[in-house]
A and B are shown apart, each in its own frame.
Chain A
Amino acid sequence: MTTTTATHPMAKYLRPGSEVTTFCPGCGDGVIAHSVLRAIDADGADMDDFVFVCGIGCAGWIPSPYFNADTLHTTHGRTLAFATGVKLAKPQTQVVVISGDGDLTAIGGNHLIHAARRDLDLTVICVNNRIYGMTGGQVAPTTPEGVKTATTPYGAEGRPFDLCRLVEAAGASYVARWTTAQPRFITRSVQRGMAHKGFAFIEVMTQCPVQFGKLSGEGSAVHMHEIMADRSVTLRQAEALDPADLPDKWVVGELVGATNVGKD
């Protein structure tokens, strides 16, 4: 009897020896890794032209160690400041930042707005699971009001960041939001972000069933996917909605710079 082993079409982009990931069952990070690699594959890009920069937290492990390229796994929150140094010192490098909402927008929030303000040619994929997953389910600046987390046992207070509006106001010239329920759109936005000469920010809403799903009652990965698909509305749909209903929705799509893509 012979057995054949199927090879994943994106396996050629993975660092040898990193076939087993640390991601929890149901985690969205695999979908995001796949979507980013699909973008590189579709562009026919050379991994040796990239530097992937990431921070501390689950999403930081998407490129490091799994992507077979130069990877800079930085201190918590400082991801964009490190990426700025790489890009300025070697402008021909395609610098792609992949990190979580806690890393990029809480501890790293100052660097986020300044990197957006400079409109430096970086592609930033912000993996937003709305919670601190790696440390065990603590509140993040993206956690919806009222959700009980390990550090908000009486419910999270304050409104979560609207990250796309934040970076738009700070100066980002390409901004998109998708969820892991729309992987092909993530791929397209990553391609556009990489082609865009300026600060490209792609927020990917993702499921963390182990922490957020459990604590919020959104449940399993499958259920969280259904919720994300239901909650997603396009810009045009959002305009037609009663503003009172908007807080329960996520506006997905290319929110800023859709027409500028590919232009210098």
Chain B
Amino acid sequence: MPATVIPAEQRLLQGNVACAEGALAAGCSFFAGYPITPATEIAEHLARELPPRDGVFIQMEDEIASVAAIIGASWTGAKVMTATSGPGLSLMQENLGYAVGTETPCVIVDVQRGGPSTGIPAVPSQSDMVQVARGSHGDYETVAFAPSSAQEMFDLTVRAFDTAERLRTPVFLLADAAVGHMREIVTMPAQACAGVNRRVASVADNGAARFLDEQVAPMPLFGRGLKAHVTGSCHDEAGMRNVVDAEALDHYVRRLSGKIRRVRDDLVEVASGDTEDAEIILVGWGLVGRAAQAIATRARQQGQRVGWVRPITVWPFADVELVSLCREAKRVLVLENNMGQMLPYVQAAVGRYSEVDGLSPRILGALHRPTDVLEAMAA
């Protein structure tokens, strides 16, 4: 399906709808999902918008089936997406590992809610950060982007598709309930997104690697006479199973991770401001990162030397960038709407240069009060 041409315009959109529009702009032609608050609006929008574009929408029997269906569809060449929240993400984990292992491009949107377990469906949270990277069993690397606005719900969804296609891997959009549900002006692109398309194997290149190439092997899509052998078992460059040799497993794991690690600099994007002379730097991601920026700006106006950093790419982790931005600061204060999921990673990166501590909001699920952050900075 060709990428959708969207006239240049500014529209007031809910974050989840902006995400769905971003998917359409990126060329998404297949969505499978299961209703869950606070992500359901993405499915509802695509249920309306995909069929008129000859795309497929299907509501599956659960989230396990949803991610299975998008993986199956991706192997026919479709650009695919599902959207869920924490409980659904938990159910998806095994098949997400399968997508990693089989190098299947797909986009997974997680509009986070408060947990553990059923928790509270519509209260914002940032508590799935580690799960998207480490939730499935085995060693693997993942890519995740964290939007802080409706605009970024659109832009980063497009980027997630392009990244998934380029790297043949699942890519996550890690929003929280407030970003999914907020309504803001979104500027739509004047033209169709250029759109990255996966490289596809051909009969002529028979013998060339179809898996486990750190440069990303062309994908042997179904229906092209390529006799693709796709398995979640340990396999070689031809996709053929080897469930006997530890060396084969070593090769399998290293190549899959290496494929992501070698382009980590291209993947990692960080927004920041006022860090050059800052004594204190506020670090936050997603919506909290936006609050960190606002609080730092207010502190500047009050004469304090405060800067801010907002990792837009959550995985791979922005350790090098954080060191570069924060090493001269006396103190780094990590703001998160959780009990401290990014904090250990910031400490590991910056802790040898600066004092690093974290601050959860006074009430988990609510945003940080600026006065609480200003008080913590004064402490």
6 residue pairs from A and B, CB less than 8 Å apart: A71-B231, A72-B72, A73-B233, A74-B232, A81-B69, A85-B30
A114 touches B222 (CB 8 A): no
Known A-B contacts A74-B98, A74-B232, A110-B61; the reply to A68 vs B227 at CB < 8 A is yes
B166 at the binding interface (Cβ < 8 Å): no
Given contacts A75-B94, A89-B72, 17 further A-B contacts (CB under 8 A): A15-B227, A51-B222, A51-B223, A53-B72, A69-B227, A70-B223, A71-B229, A72-B72, A72-B222, A81-B65, A81-B68, A81-B69, A82-B69, A83-B72, A84-B58, A87-B72, A93-B222
With the chains together, A88 CA to B71 CA distance in Å? 12
A78 at the binding interface (Cβ < 8 Å): yes
B76 at the binding interface (Cβ < 8 Å): yes
A84 touches B222 (CB 8 A): no
Known A-B contacts A48-B223, A75-B95, A81-B65; the reply to A64 vs B229 at CB < 8 A is yes
With the chains together, A47 CA to B228 CA distance in Å? 12
B64 at the binding interface (Cβ < 8 Å): yes
Known A-B contacts A73-B232, A74-B98, A78-B64; the reply to A85 vs B73 at CB < 8 A is yes
Q: Which of B32, B68, B75, B227 contacts A78 (CB 8 A)?
A: B68
Give the most central of A47, A71, A89, A110: most B CB within 10 Å.
A89
Residue of A nearest to B102 (CB): A72
Residue of A nearest to B64 (CB): A78
Q: Which residues of A contact B94 (CB under 8 A)?
A: 75
Interface residues contributed by chain B, number (CB under 8 Å): 40
B183 at the binding interface (Cβ < 8 Å): no
Query: B residues bordering A, Cβ < 8 Å?
Result: 29-30, 32, 56, 58, 60-62, 64-66, 68-78, 80, 94-95, 98, 222-233, 240-241
A-B pair count, CB < 8 Å, reads 117
Residue of A nearest to B61 (CB): A114
Give the most central of B61, B62, B95, B240: most A CB within 10 Å.
B61
A79-112: contact bitstring with B at CB < 8 Å (1 yes, 0 no)? 0011111111110110000000000000000110
A65 at the binding interface (Cβ < 8 Å): yes
Q: Which residues of B contact A111 (CB under 8 A)?
A: 61, 65, 68
Residue of A nearest to B203 (CB): A48
Residue of A nearest to B230 (CB): A72
B229 touches A84 (CB 8 A): no
Residue of B nearest to A79 (CB): B68
A88 touches B233 (CB 8 A): no
Query: A residues bordering B, Cβ < 8 Å?
Result: 15, 47-49, 51, 53, 64-65, 68-75, 78, 81-90, 92-93, 110-111, 114
Q: Which of B58, B98, B224, B225 contacts A88 (CB 8 A)?
A: B58
Known A-B contacts A78-B64, A85-B32, A88-B58; the reply to A71 vs B241 at CB < 8 A is no
B228 touches A70 (CB 8 A): yes
Q: Which residues of B contact A74 (CB under 8 A)?
A: 68, 98, 232
With the chains together, A47 CA to B69 CA distance in Å? 22
Q: Which of A47, A78, A89 contacts B78 (CB 8 A)?
A: A89
With the chains together, A159 CA to B66 CA distance in Å? 31
B223 touches A93 (CB 8 A): yes
B141 CB to closest chain A CB, in angstroms?
A: 20
With the chains together, A83 CA to B230 CA distance in Å? 13
A89 touches B228 (CB 8 A): no
A221 CB to closest chain B CB, in angstroms?
A: 26
A86 touches B72 (CB 8 A): yes
Known A-B contacts A15-B227, A75-B232; the reply to A82 vs B241 at CB < 8 A is no
Q: Which residues of A contact B224 (CB under 8 A)?
A: 48
With the chains together, A33 CA to B26 CA distance in Å? 41
Known A-B contacts A71-B230, A75-B232; the reply to A89 vs B61 at CB < 8 A is no
A84 touches B232 (CB 8 A): no
Give the most central of A48, A65, A83, A86: most B CB within 10 Å.
A86
A116 CB to closest chain B CB, in angstroms?
A: 11
Q: Which residues of B contact A86 (CB under 8 A)?
A: 72-73, 75-76, 222
With the chains together, A75 CA to B71 CA distance in Å? 11
Q: Which residues of A contact B70 (CB under 8 A)?
A: 85
Residue of B nearest to A51 (CB): B222
B240 touches A70 (CB 8 A): no
A114 touches B65 (CB 8 A): yes
A84 touches B72 (CB 8 A): yes
A149 CB to closest chain B CB, in angstroms?
A: 24
Known A-B contacts A15-B229, A74-B98; the reply to A65 vs B241 at CB < 8 A is yes
Residue of B nearest to A90 (CB): B76
Q: Which residues of B contact A90 (CB under 8 A)?
A: 76-77, 222-223
B72 touches A70 (CB 8 A): no
B180 CB to closest chain A CB, in angstroms?
A: 25
Q: Which of B29, B71, B229, B241 contacts A85 (CB 8 A)?
A: B71
Known A-B contacts A86-B222, A89-B78; the reply to A65 vs B229 at CB < 8 A is yes
A37 CB to closest chain B CB, in angstroms?
A: 15
Give the most central of B71, B72, B95, B228: most A CB within 10 Å.
B72
Residue of B nearest to A16 (CB): B227
B65 touches A88 (CB 8 A): no
With the chains together, A88 CA to B66 CA distance in Å? 13
Residue of B nearest to A65 (CB): B229
B51 CB to closest chain A CB, in angstroms?
A: 12
Q: Which residues of B contact A75 (CB under 8 A)?
A: 68, 94-95, 98, 232
Known A-B contacts A75-B95, A78-B68, A78-B95; the reply to A70 vs B226 at CB < 8 A is yes
Query: Top 7 A-B pairs ranked by shortest CB distance?
Result: A85-B72, A85-B69, A81-B68, A89-B73, A81-B65, A90-B76, A85-B73
With the chains together, A84 CA to B70 CA distance in Å? 9
Residue of B nearest to A83 (CB): B72
